[in-house]
Chains A and B, each alone.
Chain A
Amino acid sequence: MSHRLINWFRYASPQSFYPLAGRMIPWFWSLAAIFGVAGLTIGFLLAPTDAQQGEGYRIIFLHVPASWMSMFVYLVMAFWAALGLAFNTRLSGMMASALAPTGALFSFISLWTGALWGKPMWGTWWVWDARLTSELILLFLYIGFIALQAAIDDPRRADKAGAILALVGVVNIPIIYFSVKWWNTLHQGASVSLTRSPSMAALMLWGMLLCALACWMYTIAVALTRARTIMLERERHTEWVHALLTEKN
Chain B
Amino acid sequence: MYWQSVSDFLAMGQHGPYVWGSVLVTAALMIGEPLLIVRHRKAVIARLQRQFRADQADRQRRTNALESSIMSGSRN
Interface residues of A (CB under 8 A from B): 44-49, 54-56, 58-59, 62-63, 66, 101-102, 105, 108-109, 112-113, 116-117, 119-120, 218, 221-222, 225-226, 228-229, 232-233, 236, 241-242, 245-246, 248-249
B26 and A120 contact, CB distance less than 8 A: no
B52 and A246 contact, CB distance less than 8 A: yes
Closest residue of B by beta carbon distance from A228: B41
A48 and B40 contact, CB distance less than 8 A: no
Given known A55-B13, A109-B26, A109-B29, contact A116–B49 (CB-CB < 8 A): no
Q: Tell me, in angstroms, the Cα distance from A222 to B52 when the chains sit together.
A: 27
Interface core residue of A105, A228, A245 (most chain B CB under 10 Å): A245
B54 in the interface (beta carbon within 8 A): no
Q: Tell me, in angstroms, the Cα distance from A221 to B19 when the chains sit together.
A: 27
B71 in the interface (beta carbon within 8 A): no
B13 and A49 contact, CB distance less than 8 A: yes
B4 in the interface (beta carbon within 8 A): no
Q: What DSSP secondary structure best describes chain A's contact surface?
A: helix
A56 and B48 contact, CB distance less than 8 A: no
Besides the known contacts A54-B15, A55-B13, A112-B25, 6 further A-B residue pairs in the complex with CB atoms under 8 A apart: A45-B9, A54-B14, A109-B25, A109-B29, A245-B45, A249-B49
A113 and B52 contact, CB distance less than 8 A: no
Q: Tell me, in angstroms, the Cα distance from A148 to B29 when the chains sit together.
A: 23
B23 in the interface (beta carbon within 8 A): yes
Min C-beta distance of B73 to chain A, whole Å: 33
Min C-beta distance of B41 to chain A, whole Å: 4
Min C-beta distance of A244 to chain B, whole Å: 9
B12 and A248 contact, CB distance less than 8 A: no
Complex contacts, B34 vs chain A, CB 8 Å: 221-222, 225
Q: Tell me, in angstroms, the Cα distance from A113 to B23 when the chains sit together.
A: 8
Q: Tell me, in angstroms, the Cα distance from A66 to B27 when the chains sit together.
A: 12
Q: Tell me, in angstroms, the Cα distance from A78 to B68 when the chains sit together.
A: 57
